[in-house]
C-alpha cells in the first residue's frame, strides 16, 4: 500500500510513499531495541560527538530539507529554511546532554544514595503534518541524547523531511536502526507504536481527540506519554498597550504557517475602549500578508496542507459569517484560503473551537477580570500573548491565564532552550528546555549501605605474611 503525496500549492500528486505494515513496525522496534542497547553502552562523549555530527549534516542539508518541506507541506521557503536551521540548533543543544545528564547524590543516614537516569529504551514518536521536521526534532534529539532509540511515524501527508532526516542521521554516523522513520497510517503504525510492549514511551503531537486515544491505549501498559495537543490561544490587548505594534504583529501571531499552528493566537481579545482603533490598524496589516507560491522568497503564507483540511476550515466561515475583513489569496489550483478576521459573539463556534487555519476572531472585553475570564473560558491552554505597558498588570494577568507558554508584548512561543507544553486539553508533559532529556529516562535510586566502623587494620608488624601468622579472617 502507498500514500499519494500532493503538493498543496498545485493540488497535484508528486510522489507515492509506501505505508508501513504492523509486521514491519514490529521488525523496526526489534531492530531499535538492539541498536539502543549498543548506543546506551557507548561513552557519553562518543554519543555527544555523533549528535554533533548529525547537527552538522543537517546544516549542510538546509536547502534540500527546506525545498522538500515547501513542496510537501506548502511552507514558504524562507520559513522552511528557518525550520531546518532550528532542527540543527535543537540537535546541537541536546548534543551536550549525554555528558551532562547527571544523577544526584542525596544525603541519607547509613549509606550513600545515588540517582541514575537510565534511558527508557525505545521511544515511539508520532508527529503531525503542520511542522513535520521541527516537532520531530523536539522529541528525537533529546531522546537520542538520553541514550534511547527512536521509531518515528510522521503524518500521512508530510513524511518527506522526516524520512530524509533519518537518512542524514545514518550518513552522519549514527548507528543503524537507532533512528527509524516509518511512514504509514495513524491507526496502523501509530497505534502499533503505542501498544507495542517494547516501546516504553510515546511522544504524540496532534489533535486532542487522537491524543486522548493515544493516552487511553498507553494506559493499558502503564506507558509514559508526552502529549502536545490543540490550542485556542488568546492574544489579549489592553488599552494601555503599544496598539500600533500589537495590531501590526497580530497577523504573524495567528497566520504564520497559514494558522496551522497549535500556538496560533486565534482569539484576539481587545479592551472595548480601543476596539475600533485596533481594527483600523489591523486591517492594513492583514491586507499586507503576502500569500502565494511557497517557492517565492517573498511569500509569507502558503496554502493549507490538503483539500480535506481546506474543507474543514471553510466550514468555520459559512455564508453570512461575521467577517470583518480578509486578506488576499491566489485563486485556482491549490488549497488556498485568505487570512480572515471575524467579529463573532462569545458563543460562536469559530471563537470557541480550534480551526487550525488562517481565521482569527476579535472579541472585546470590559476589564482585566473579564479578559482573564474570557482567556480561560476554553478547554485548551497552550499559548498566548498579553499586550500592556503596565508591568504589574502583565505579571497579574500572566499568572492568572491558564496556559503553558505566554509572551508579554510579543508573539514568541517556542525557543529550544525553554520548556514548551500545554495546560488542560492542550497536553501532558513538556518538551524542549534543559530538562527534556530527563523526560526520556527512568530515574533509578540506589542506596549503598555503609558500615560506620571501618574493618580493623592489621598493625605493620602483622602484615608480613609468615607461615605462623594468623589469616585476616581469623583476627
Site for ligand ADP in 390-429 (CB under 6 A): none
Q: How many Cβ atoms are within 10 Å of 275's Cβ, its own excluded?
A: 18
φ/ψ (deg, to 5) at 61? -110, 15
The reply to whether 21 sits near ligand ADP by the rule CB under 6 A is: no
The reply to whether 128 sits near ligand ADP by the rule CB under 6 A is: yes
Which runs of consecutive H residues, i.e. helices, occur in 120-221?
132-145, 160-171, 191-195, 208-220
Kindly tell me which of 207 and 412 has the beta carbon lying closer to ligand ADP: 207
Location of C-alpha cell 521536521: 133
Sequence-distant (≥ 6) Cβ neighbours of residue 154 within 8 angstroms: 127, 132, 136, 162, 163, 181, 183
| Secondary-structure breakdown of the chain: helix, strand, coil percentages, each rounded to the nearest 5 | 40, 20, 40
State the minimum distance, in angstroms, from the CB of residue 153 to ligand ADP: 6
Q: Catalytic residue among 228, 256, 271, 300, which?
A: 228
φ/ψ (deg, to 5) at 375? -60, -40
64 is catalytic: no
CA distance 257 to 193: 28
The reply to whether 259 sits near ligand ADP by the rule CB under 6 A is: no
The reply to whether 6 sits near ligand ADP by the rule CB under 6 A is: no
Kindly tell me which of 203 and 394 has the beta carbon lying closer to ligand ADP: 203
Kindly tell me which of 187 and 284 has the beta carbon lying closer to ligand ADP: 187
Cβ(156)–Cβ(190) under 8 Å?
Answer: no
CA distance 231 to 257: 15
Kindly tell me which of 2 and 115 has the beta carbon lying closer to ligand ADP: 2
Kindly tell me which of 211 and 302 has the beta carbon lying closer to ligand ADP: 211
Burial class (CB in 10 A: 0-12, 13-18, 19+), 73: buried
State the minimum distance, in angstroms, from the CB of residue 184 to ligand ADP: 8
State the minimum distance, in angstroms, from the CB of residue 58 to ligand ADP: 21
The reply to whether 160 sits near ligand ADP by the rule CB under 6 A is: no
Of residues 262, 300, 36, the one with CA closest to residue 134: 262
State the minimum distance, in angstroms, from the CB of residue 123 to ligand ADP: 14
State the minimum distance, in angstroms, from the CB of residue 75 to ligand ADP: 16
Cβ(407)–Cβ(384) under 8 Å?
Answer: yes
Cβ(318)–Cβ(308) under 8 Å?
Answer: no
State the minimum distance, in angstroms, from the CB of residue 383 to ligand ADP: 18
Site for ligand ADP in 171-190 (CB under 6 A): 186-187, 190
CA distance 179 to 23: 18
The reply to whether 3 sits near ligand ADP by the rule CB under 6 A is: no
State the minimum distance, in angstroms, from the CB of residue 210 to ligand ADP: 3
The reply to whether 127 sits near ligand ADP by the rule CB under 6 A is: yes
Sequence-distant (≥ 6) Cβ neighbours of residue 404 within 8 angstroms: 381, 382, 383, 419, 420, 421, 422, 423, 426, 427, 430
The reply to whether 155 sits near ligand ADP by the rule CB under 6 A is: yes
Site for ligand ADP in 225-254 (CB under 6 A): none
The reply to whether 213 sits near ligand ADP by the rule CB under 6 A is: yes
Kindly tell me which of 1 and 369 has the beta carbon lying closer to ligand ADP: 1
Q: Which of 47, 88, 117, 153 touches ligand ADP by CB under 6 A? A: 153
Q: Which of 121, 142, 206, 437 touches ligand ADP by CB under 6 A? A: 206
> What is the size of the binding site for ligand ADP (CB under 6 A)?
16
Cβ(140)–Cβ(163) under 8 Å?
Answer: no
Cβ(324)–Cβ(336) under 8 Å?
Answer: no
Q: Which of 65, 66, 169, 194 touches ligand ADP by CB under 6 A? A: 194
State the minimum distance, in angstroms, from the CB of residue 53 to ligand ADP: 28
Q: Which of 207, 221, 376, 412 touches ligand ADP by CB under 6 A? A: 207
Kindly tell me which of 207 and 221 has the beta carbon lying closer to ligand ADP: 207
Order the strands of the 340-342 sheet from edge to edge: 323-326, 340-342, 359-365, 267-271, 234-237, 384-387, 407-408
State the minimum distance, in angstroms, from the CB of residue 143 to ligand ADP: 17
CA distance 377 to 352: 9
Strands 111-119 and 105-106: antiparallel
The reply to whether 277 sits near ligand ADP by the rule CB under 6 A is: no
Kindly tell me which of 29 and 214 has the beta carbon lying closer to ligand ADP: 214
Here's the x/- map for ligand ADP, 87-126, by CB under 6 A: it reads as ---------------------------------------x
Q: Which of 69, 89, 156, 354 touches ligand ADP by CB under 6 A? A: 156
Location of C-alpha cell 503524518: 155
Tell me the CB-side half-sphere exposure of residue 450, using CA atoms within 13 A. Answer: 12
Residues that bind ligand ADP (CB under 6 A): 126-128, 153, 155-156, 186-187, 190-191, 194, 206-207, 210, 213-214
Q: Which residues are tagged catalytic?
A: 228
Amino acid at each position: 500500500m502507498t500514500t499519494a503525496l500532493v503538493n498543496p500549492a498545485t493540488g497535484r500528486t508528486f510522489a507515492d510513499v509506501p505505508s508501513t505494515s504492523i509486521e514491519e513496525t514490529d521488525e523496526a522496534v526489534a531492530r531499535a531495541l538492539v541498536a539502543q542497547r549498543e548506543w546506551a553502552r557507548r561513552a557519553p562523549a562518543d554519543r555527544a560527538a555523533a549528535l554533533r555530527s548529525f547537527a552538522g549534516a543537517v546544516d549542510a542539508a538546509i536547502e534540500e530539507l527546506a525545498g522538500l518541506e515547501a513542496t510537501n507541506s506548502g511552507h514558504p521557503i524562507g520559513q522552511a529554511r528557518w525550520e531546518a536551521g532550528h532542527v540543527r540548533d535543537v540537535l546541537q543543544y541536546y548534543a551536550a546532554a549525554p555528558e551532562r545528564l547527571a544523577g544526584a547524590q542525596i544525603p541519607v543516614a547509613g549509606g550513600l544514595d545515588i540517582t541514575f537516569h537510565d534511558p527508557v529504551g525505545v521511544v515511539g514518536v508520532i508527529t503531525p503534518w503542520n511542522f513535520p521536521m521541527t516537532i520531530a526534532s523536539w522529541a528525537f534529539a533529546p531522546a537520542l541524547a538520553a541514550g534511547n532509540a527512536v521509531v518515528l511515524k510522521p503524518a500521512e501527508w508530510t513524511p518527506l523531511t522526516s524520512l530524509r532526516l533519518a537518512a542524514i542521521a545514518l550518513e552522519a554516523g549514527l548507528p543503524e536502526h537507532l533512528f527509524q522513520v516509518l511512514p504509514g497510517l495513524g491507526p496502523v503504525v501509530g497505534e502499533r507504536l503505542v501498544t507495542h510492549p517494547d516501546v516504553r514511551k510515546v511522544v504524540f503531537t496532534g489533535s486532542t481527540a487522537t491524543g486522548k486515544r493515544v493516552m487511553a491505549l498507553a494506559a493499558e501498559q502503564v506507558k509514559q506519554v508526552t502529549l502536545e495537543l490543540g490550542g485556542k490561544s488568546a492574544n489579549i490587548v489592553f488599552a494601555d498597550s503599544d496598539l500600533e505594534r500589537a495590531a501590526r504583529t497580530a497577523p504573524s501571531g495567528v497566520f504564520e504557517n497559514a494558522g496551522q499552528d497549535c500556538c496560533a493566537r486565534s482569539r484576539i481579545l481587545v479592551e472595548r475602549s480601543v476596539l475600533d482603533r485596533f481594527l483600523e490598524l489591523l486591517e492594513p496589516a492583514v491586507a499586507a500578508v503576502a500569500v502565494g507560491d511557497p517557492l517565492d522568497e517573498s511569500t509569507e503564507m502558503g496554502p493549507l496542507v490538503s483539500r480535506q483540511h481546506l474543507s474543514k476550515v471553510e466550514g468555520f466561515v459559512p455564508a453570512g459569517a461575521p467577517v470583518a475583513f480578509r486578506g488576499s489569496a491566489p485563486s485556482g489550483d491549490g488549497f488556498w484560503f485568505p487570512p480572515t478576521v471575524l467579529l463573532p459573539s462569545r458563543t460562536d463556534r469559530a471563537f470557541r473551537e480550534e480551526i487550525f487555519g488562517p481565521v482569527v476572531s476579535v472579541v472585546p472585553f470590559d476589564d482585566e477580570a473579564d479578559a482573564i475570564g474570557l482567556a480561560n473560558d476554553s478547554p485548551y491552554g497552550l499559548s498566548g500573548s498579553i499586550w500592556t505597558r503596565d508591568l504589574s498588570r502583565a505579571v497579574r494577568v500572566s499568572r492568572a491565564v491558564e496556559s503553558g507558554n505566554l509572551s508579554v508584548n510579543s508573539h514568541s512561543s517556542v525557543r529550544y532552550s525553554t520548556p514548551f507544553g500545554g495546560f488542560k486539553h492542550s497536553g501532558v508533559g513538556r518538551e524542549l528546555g534543559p530538562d527534556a532529556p530527563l523526560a526520556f529516562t527512568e530515574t533509578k535510586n540506589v542506596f549503598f549501605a555503609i558500615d560506620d566502623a571501618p574493618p580493623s587494620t592489621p598493625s605493620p608488624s602483622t602484615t608480613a605474611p609468615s607461615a605462623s601468622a594468623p589469616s585476616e579472617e581469623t583476627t
